[in-house]
Amino acid sequence: MSNNAVSLYLDPQIRDWVLFPITLVMILVGILRHYVVILLQSPPKKLPRAAIREQRALVRSQILRTTSTNSPIPESFYKSISQNLSQAFEAGTYLKDGPPKADAPSTPPNPLSDPNAMDGMMAGMKTQMVMMVPQMIIMGWINFFFQGFVLIKLPFPLTLGFKSMLQRGIETPDMDVRWVSSLSWYFLNFFGLNGLYRLILGGDNAADASRDMASPFAAGVPQAPGQAQDYSKLLKAEKDNLELAEGLYSWVGKDVEQRVLRRYGKLPPS
């Protein structure tokens, strides 16, 4: 068994009863996960009109600001919209609860007690649980049923360090690392099936394992602060940004007559 030139002969029944079933089960579980996540997602909470209005006001001013250096709208329009928004933000007309009263202390709602923010965090955590649990179950299933025999030979070499992980349950210190057990087939499938999920379930599928590992906790967090933030402070900051952008404003069509004439040679190039 330690001679590399001699190849092991494996029973074809291993192929039929282990290789294909593990792959099939993993594909089906991935598809199941995707649909479970879709079913578990609660529909987004409908916000009252005033709340939506304050969010939209913020978005409006951001849209205006982003293209301010190359803006498609001419100067008079830009300046009038910009100043209108600045005044409105300063006076607080877009705020959900009306303009702030002078004596009321403005405290942002506590994220733990605000029901809107809780929903966002729970949705993120639910997705995490649905991802983790099937992986654990499948690993346990494989370790229980498919342990102690060689499954397949890898076509590429690996270092000895992988031996303990990939040949778990097979007590042969001399065997080539390329003969591996079922758990390594699980790992190969785990990484390799993401492309297949992208093909079957579309780009934004919930079965993608690489996405879990890249951002395990970052995904759940950003949804909560959006609802818990204090809009009066946000709108004040936005007003400052708006004024800054107004200073940087420049119309795309400025002096366009000169540019056209120069291009067609009617005016000497400057």
Closest distance of CB 105 from another protein, Å: 38
Min separation Cβ 85 and another protein, Å = 20
Tokens of 57: 């006001």
Q: In this complex, which beta carbon is closest to another protein, that of residue 3 or of residue 110?
A: 3
Question: Alpha-carbon Rg of the chain, whole angstroms?
Answer: 30
Stretch that binds another protein, among 1-9, 90-98, 108-116, 140-148 (CB under 8 A): 1-9
Listed in sequence order, the residues at least 6 apart from 75 whose beta carbon sits closer than 8 Å to its beta carbon are 249, 251
- Least distance from C-beta 189 to another protein, angstroms? 7
Interface region with another protein, contact rule CB under 8 A, candidates 62-70, 166-174, 243-251, 256-264? 62-70
- Smaller CB separation from another protein, 176 or 238: 176
15 binds another protein (CB under 8 A): yes
CB of 97 to another protein, least distance (A): 34
Distance between CA atoms of residues 133 and 262, nearest Å: 67
The yes or no reply on residue 12 touching another protein (CB under 8 A) is yes
What is 62-98 written as a DSSP string? HHHHHTGGGBSS-HHHHHHHHHHHHHHHHHTTTSTT-
* Rounded distance between C-alpha atoms, residue 41 and residue 223, angstroms: 14
Task: CB nearer to another protein: give 115 or 155.
Answer: 155
Q: How far apart are CA 206 and CA 130, in angstroms?
A: 9
Task: Name residues contacting another protein, limited to 167-206 (CB under 8 A).
Answer: 185, 188-189, 191-196, 198-199, 203
In whole angstroms, give the CA distance from residue 229 to residue 235. 11
Which residue in the set 9, 144, 217, 264 belongs to the binding site for another protein (CB under 8 A)? Answer: 9
37 contacts 206 by C-beta, under 8 angstroms: yes
Count of Cβ atoms closer than 10 Å to residue 170 Cβ: 16
Binding site for another protein (CB under 8 A): 7-10, 12, 14-15, 19, 23, 66-67, 70, 152-157, 185, 188-189, 191-196, 198-199, 203, 210
